[in-house]
Every structure is written in C-alpha cells, then in structure tokens.
Structure 1
C-alpha cells in the first residue's frame, strides 16, 4: 500500500484554486491547524512538496523593542516553513518533530520578512521510505532590503507514530 499523507492532499486541493486565492486559503488553513502561526499573521505565499515560501509583515504585534521583527518571530517563520514542508512529505504513520534550531543573527533586520525552505528529492524519498530519520532543511530569511539578517539551520526528525 502506498504511503498516504492527508495534509498533502488538502494542500494539493488548495493549490488547485486560482493563484490569487491560494495564499489566503493556505494561511487560513494552517492558522487553524497550528493556532500560533495564525496569531502572528504568517502568510503562506507558496507551498508544495518541494518548497515553502512564507512572509510576515513588520507589524506591532511581532516587533521587538527596536521596531524590527522579533528574533523569536523570525525563528517561528523558519520553523513554520520547514515544518510545513516536512509535514507534507512524512507519511501519516510517522510524526515529524523539530530536533534542532540553530540561529545566528548577523545583522539588524529591516521591515517585513520572507522565508524560503526547500527539500531535495532525496530528502523527500528518505521521509517516505525510512521508518525514522532526520534531515537538515535548507531555509533562508530575507528582510525588506533583500538582506539575510539571520542564518538558520533547522533539523527535523520523523519517527513512527505510537499506536
């Protein structure tokens, strides 16, 4: 029997909507499924099994004391983008868990933030075929000036669900 992933089926149906409607539908869906992401105002710009792009406006509710996007909010962006990808690729009989989040803040972030995360075909195949494992999910964060104020590494693991 082929591995199933209900989340991938839902996202696939959302991705059949007209392009202008996809970000709102994806953001609403994940905001309900993962309430904290909805609270912060994360917007899912694009999501499929290979790539996730999300953004966050630099609004008061996510700012730090110097009016930039708070450090923890930027970590939430990276964790969300990588987690959504892993969640789309891990079969329903396994559970994805964040194992390591390493962030190095290299410069002050300016304005809105945009995050892109990717999975290779090899990573996706491992998630489908290996009972348990882990992988580093590539992710980049850019601010409104196109700079990368944070270097982030996110390592995700997957294990069989407890019965």
Structure 2
C-alpha cells in the first residue's frame, strides 16, 4: 500500500464535528507535497484506489474578476485529486508523471467545488504507458463546471 493511501486510512477516521480531524490533517499534509496545492486549501473527502475526491472552498483567495472560482484554481484541484488517486492506485513497481491535461470549462464555479478523479483498475496493469485520468469539478447544485482528462505517463521503476 502506498504511503499516501496508508496515511489516508490511518488518519481519515479521526472524528470531529463536520469534516474529521484526520481528513484535515491529511489534506494539509498532502498540500505540502506540492506547495501550490496549498493555495486552493483542498479538503479531501474520499480516497481509494481509482478514485479521489476533494473540495475547493469558494473564498476570495481563489476568485477571479467575476468572483467565481478561478479556472487555474479549478485545474489545481483536479491535479491534486489526480495526484492522490495516482499515489493510491499505482502498482509498487511503477512510477507516474503527468504529461498533459485536456480540460473544458462548462459553467461558472459559483460555489465550493467538488473535484473528482477516476480511473479503471485495468488502466494500471496493462503495458500501455498512457493512463488517462477522468476528472471533473462539480458545483454544490450538481452542475459540472470543469471536466476533462489528465494524461499520465506510467513506466516501470528503474
């Protein structure tokens, strides 16, 4: 089991009113792996192999000139979800690096945004080094505001 998934399993169940203390601890620790993740203050809500979900709180620090969540903040949220998914899913004998992102902005991000990353188990076991991760951002009312694919390059560890 990866360090990221192990940390999630060990701390995410620590309770408190609202989001668990453990989920907050995990979210802060994960955001330190890549400091730009901290700019969106991600709140991880779920993590398991092939699935990751986090929330970007709508706040002034991520607003654009329209007072909606900025497009690049949304991309950072999707990339954080994808990175957590990749760390929780990848076989121990492989490594990954992102190699591209195809994204469509489909609606205004006028609330907190739930960022979701998903893959299928078979994507990680084949010989094809290209692993597309499906990503989307969803407004509180269920409207998809951003969606696309983050492409990973997955190769054997040397």
Q: Same fold (TM over 0.5)?
A: yes
CA RMSD of aligned residues (A): 2.2
Aligned with 2:5 (options 5, 8, 12): 8
2:33 is equivalent to residue 33 of structure 1: yes
Q: 1:136 to 1:90 in 2, by over 3 A?
A: same
How many residues are treated as equivalent by the alignment?
155
Q: Per-residue displacement from partner, 1:65-111 (whole Å, max 9, x unpaired)?
A: 10000000111111111111012222455331111201112222222
User: What is the rounded CA distance, in whole Å, between the counterparts of 2:149 and 2:27 in structure 1?
Assistant: 23
| TM-score of the pair, normalised by structure 1 | 0.82
8 Å contact 2:104–2:147 — kept in the other structure? yes
Unaligned runs of 5+ in 2: none
Larger CA deviation: 152-161 vs 87-96 = 87-96
| TM-score of the pair, normalised by structure 2 | 0.84
The alignment partner of 1:138 has SS state of strand
Partner residue, 1:153: 149
The alignment partner of 2:107 has SS state of coil
User: 4+ residue stretches of structure 1 with deviation over 6 A?
Assistant: none
Unaligned runs of 5+ in 1: none
User: What is the rounded CA distance, in whole Å, between the counterparts of 1:40 and 1:107 in structure 2?
Assistant: 19
User: What is the rounded CA distance, in whole Å, between the counterparts of 1:71 and 1:86 in structure 2?
Assistant: 22
